[in-house]
Structure 1
Amino acid sequence: MQQIARSVALAFNNLPRPHRVMLGSLTVLTLAVAVWRPYVYHPNTAPIVKTIELEKNEIRSLLPEASEPIDQAPQEEEAIPQDELDDKADGDAGVHEYVVSTGDTLSSVLNQYGIDMGDISQLSAADKDLRNLKIGQQLSWTLNADGDLQQLTWEMSRRETRTYDRTANGFKMSSEMQEGDWVNSVLKGTVGASFVSSARDAGLTSAEISAVIKAMQWQMDLRKLKKGDEFSVLMSREMLEGKREQSQLLGVRLRSDGKDYYAIRAEDGKFYDRNGTGLAKGFLRFPTSRQFRVSSNFNPRRLNPVTGRVAPHRGVDFAMPQGTPVLAVGDGEVVQAKRSGAAGYYVAIRHGRTYTTRYMHLRKLLVKPGQKIKRGDRIALSGNTGRSTGPHLHYEVWINQQAVNPLTAKLPRTEGLTGSDRRDYLAQVKDVVPQLQID
């Protein structure tokens, strides 16, 4: 046998090299076919079943959310810069406010802030009148540490306010009737060190100053007022036994560099110029020229799939190719444009004093802090920077420093009064403007 093997090896070695390569390849192929045993499925054979027990945290790790980056609270360097115009009135910290407008329902208003539908249903059960909100009415609410609705206040009219407090069994309603007399007051002043300090000197409260700032936000950056600029404010104040209980802004006039700016309240609770044209600037719904797939929704109660703790997702993620142009959704000023930890390259834009938008995980920035931009301007290219599991754009909308759902939020739009509403408003203007005289 050994002699046969030596003879075969000698004959193989005496072959030309191309022949040896070909013969070797055929030998390997023949052996591979000889040992190959394809798997044949036999339907009559019982399948092998194995049960695997998972811990609770392991089950969460299998959820779709586990493939998404879990947002953390905004890092200090990611926080939106604040100034004296952002100061809340005493007792107003943590209170969210909303003025009812056309088409609003209790559900549409609260749902955009991520308030649980179960809470909304319990509110409606506590008071069926909440199903019939009227334009111009104001809602305000507070949340507990877990983001659950704690209390809701509904200002039905100047005379009646209803409050709904959380209880063990839902919400309990209480009603308060105001008995004071409403008196109009005109407060005038000249800007000195700042508008806020000058307004206080003129007799306006912190809440009234905040109302003026919001009314004028689309026409004038009150931080830019110069020394010597003048203002006149018409407030309607409720007086009870000689004390001021509450107030409502009716009209504002600012004179800066010899030019006058007006904001006058209409019956719908919004402010317009003297011709009935809306002051708010319109917004785009999406920050891109076309709509992309939502890979992760807004969820202020999202659980970390591993720890089980609340890790809010304060925006919406759009899956898109890197390098997609990102657009500003509205006119505003860039307040942040840099790289910062988990957010990667990101941009924050302030629109007036009420709205802020943020764009994260960008590849390239096209704007700088302090830059004025218009709706539709390119501000960046999308990317995959920071803590990200794939190319996408994380987009946030904040209203009065509270994150809302970008897909359902009631965003400003350019509009004006028409028909009988405009006629009624112009009649009101004739009454208000003469009271806003500036000496």
Structure 2
Amino acid sequence: MKKLGLLFLMMLALVACNDEEKDQAVNNEVKKEKLPPVEKEYGFVLNDFEVVKDTIESGDSFGYIMDQNGVGHGKVFEISNKVIDTFNPARITAGKKYMILKAKDSARTPEYFIYENDKINYTVVALGDSIYAEKKKRPVTIKKREISGVITSSLSEAMQAQGLSNLLVYELSNIYQWSIDFFKLQKGDQFKMVYHEKYIDDTIFAGIDKVDAAVFKHSDKPFYAFRYLNDTVSGKPSFYDDEAKALQSFFLKAPLNYSRISSRFTKRRFHPVQKRWKAHLGTDYAAPHGTPIVSTANGRVIASSYTSGNGNYVKIKHNSKYTTQYLHMTKRAVRNGQTVKQGDVIGYVGSTGLATGPHVCYRFWVNGRQVDPYRQNLPSAKHIEEELKDEYFAYIKPLKEDLEQIPYKNI
């Protein structure tokens, strides 16, 4: 009986032990389930901090944001002075996202301020005892894409119909701005593209990296475009067609054969007629009365008129980006709404309006803002040189084959 009793007690102990082990295993599983997932962003493990995420609003300043999060004015002044070469606190922009990482202590001390310059680039400002700022980039993945589309009403709608980014509308418009009038696209026009997209952390779309090749069939005529580095000096690639011709047009250096530049673009010049200092947002080319003035690029005349200041003048819109104007003509040679080509005579040198002598004042707009044309990186029309064409054709051959393998979409 004693042996049986002892055996029974041993069995009870074994069962109890097993139950304890099972309970412990269950408890461990519960603990594992309750642990929050590790969250990483901007190179930090966010679980280690108290996180404040927000967006800069109009009127916000770096000092105000810091003050709202427990950083005093003296500390803000110190931070600003130490990081200004990398991060200028005075230039934070409304609409930009930011994050503040605070210590998980009773004081909730801010340790880092992270400013999103854009989707990829950001700046980390260390706010602790060691103050510094670092510019960093999120990891970016490049993915190759091939698409095909057809115009039913507009290029934008053709992109939207496939769930594609409107950035592609800009890319195609920019590539073909000198070859195709996108306001005159026809129903049934087709296009194909080989390009690359940027993704943050392999999942978040961050824009277009580059377009390798495209073909736009407009009025049943294919317009090919291949990205190619022909100018090794500038290091900037341009687009060329299947015959090695540049797609981008160019502006003439000047609108006439001139004797000298009598006044350049400047924010401060003493006006010879008005006798006061003011901005001169143009370039004056002195030339004899009657010298022909030509359009510096293809475009459409949007003004051919007279004002007391400009005298006889012509204004030409070349595309959605560039506009030029020619002032003080003795006579205009084009009418409003007329299409002109580069080199077409649009008027003749005079001294009408506020002018002291015969010249043309040449004005230049980029995206609606008057600029100095001599300081612009304007499109080049330099074709592939004859001795380099074989190399170019070998380069575009696989790209053209890629385009040919993409089927056209039809209505």
TM-score normalised by length of structure 2: 0.57
Match of 1:438, SS state, is: coil
Shift in Å at residue 160 of structure 1? 8.8
Q: Which has the higher contact order (CA 8 A, sep 6+)?
A: 1
Is residue 425 of structure 1 aligned with residue 395 of structure 2? yes
Structure 2 residue aligned with 1:385: 352
CA distance in 1, matches of 2:277, 2:152: 46
Task: Give me the CA root mean square deviation.
Answer: 3.8
Change (3 A) 1:312 1:206: farther
**Structure 1 residue 292, shift from structure 2 partner:** 2.2
Find the aligned partners of 1:341 and 1:437 in 2 and give their Cα distance.
Answer: 58
Alignment-derived partner of residue 330 in structure 1 = 297
**Alpha-carbon deviations, 1:145-173, whole Å to 9, x = none?**
xxxxxxxxx99xxx99799xxxxxxxx99
Note closer, same or farther for the CA distance 1:273–1:310 as it changes in structure 2 (3 Å cut).
Answer: farther
The one-letter code sitting in structure 2 at the alignment partner of 1:243 is I
Letter in 1 for 2:223: Y
**Superposed counterparts of 1:367-386, under 5 Å:** 367-386=334-353
C-alpha displacement of 1:184: 2.0
Question: Does the aligned pair in 2 maintain the 1:237–1:244 contact within 8 Å?
Answer: yes
User: How has the CA–CA distance of structure 1 residues 286 and 435 changed in structure 2, closer, same or farther, with 3 Å as cutoff?
Assistant: same
Given the superposition, is the C-alpha separation of residues 412 and 235 from structure 1 closer, same or farther in structure 2, using an over 3 Å criterion? closer
| 2:150–2:158 contact (8 Å) kept in structure 1 | yes
Gaps of 5+ in 1: 1-125, 128-141, 145-153, 164-171
SS at match of 2:163: coil
1:378 Cα deviation (Å)? 1.0
Q: Equivalent pairs: percent with the same residue?
A: 27
Partner of 1:434: 404
1:395 maps onto 2:356 in alignment: no
1:252 paired residue number: 214
Alignment partners' CA distance in 1, 2:297 and 2:288: 23
Q: How far did residue 356 of structure 1 move?
A: 2.5
> Could you say if the C-alpha distance between residues 292 and 228 of structure 1 is closer, same or farther in structure 2, counting changes exceeding 3 Å?
same
Evaluate the alpha carbon distance shift between residue 437 and residue 397 of structure 1 in structure 2; reply closer, same or farther with a 3 A threshold.
farther
Question: Is this contact kept in 2: 1:189–1:231, CA < 8 A?
Answer: yes
- Asked whether the equivalents of residues 214 and 354 of structure 1 are also in contact (C-alpha less than 8 Å), the reply is no
Matched residue type, 2:354: R
Q: Which runs of 5+ in 2 are unaligned?
A: 1-84, 94-116, 124-131, 230-235
Q: Deviation per CA, 1:402-429, whole angstroms, max 9, x where unpaired? A: 4333345444443233538625632453
The answer to whether the 8 A contact 1:190-1:231 is kept is yes
More strand by share: 2
Q: How big is the shift at 1:183?
A: 1.3
Go from structure 1 to structure 2 and tell me whether the alpha carbon gap of 1:312 and 1:198 turns closer, same or farther (over 3 Å shift).
farther
CA distance 1:186–1:359, change in 2 (3 Å): same
Give a deviation string over 1:33-92, Cα, whole Å, max 9, x none. xxxxxxxxxxxxxxxxxxxxxxxxxxxxxxxxxxxxxxxxxxxxxxxxxxxxxxxxxxxx
Counterpart Cα distance in 2 of 1:356 and 1:438: 35
- Distance, in Å, in 1 between the alignment partners of 2:356 and 2:250 is 33
Question: Would the aligned equivalents of 1:214 and 1:353 in 2 still touch at CA under 8 Å?
Answer: no
CA contact 2:120–2:140 (8 Å) conserved in 1: no
Local SS of the residue matching 1:253: strand
Map 1:259-274 to 2 at 5 A. Answer: 259-267=221-229, 268-274=236-242
- Give CA deviations for 1:268-303 in whole Å, capped at 9, x if unaligned: 431111233211234321211x2222221111x226
Deviation string 1:186-232 (CA, Å, 9 cap, x unpaired) is 33332233333333334343433122111001211111111222222
| 2:160 counterpart of 1:190 | no
Number of residue equivalences? 277
User: What amino acid maps onto 2:400 in structure 1?
Assistant: K
Note closer, same or farther for the CA distance 1:230–1:348 as it changes in structure 2 (3 Å cut).
Answer: same
- Give the match for residue 220 of structure 1: 180
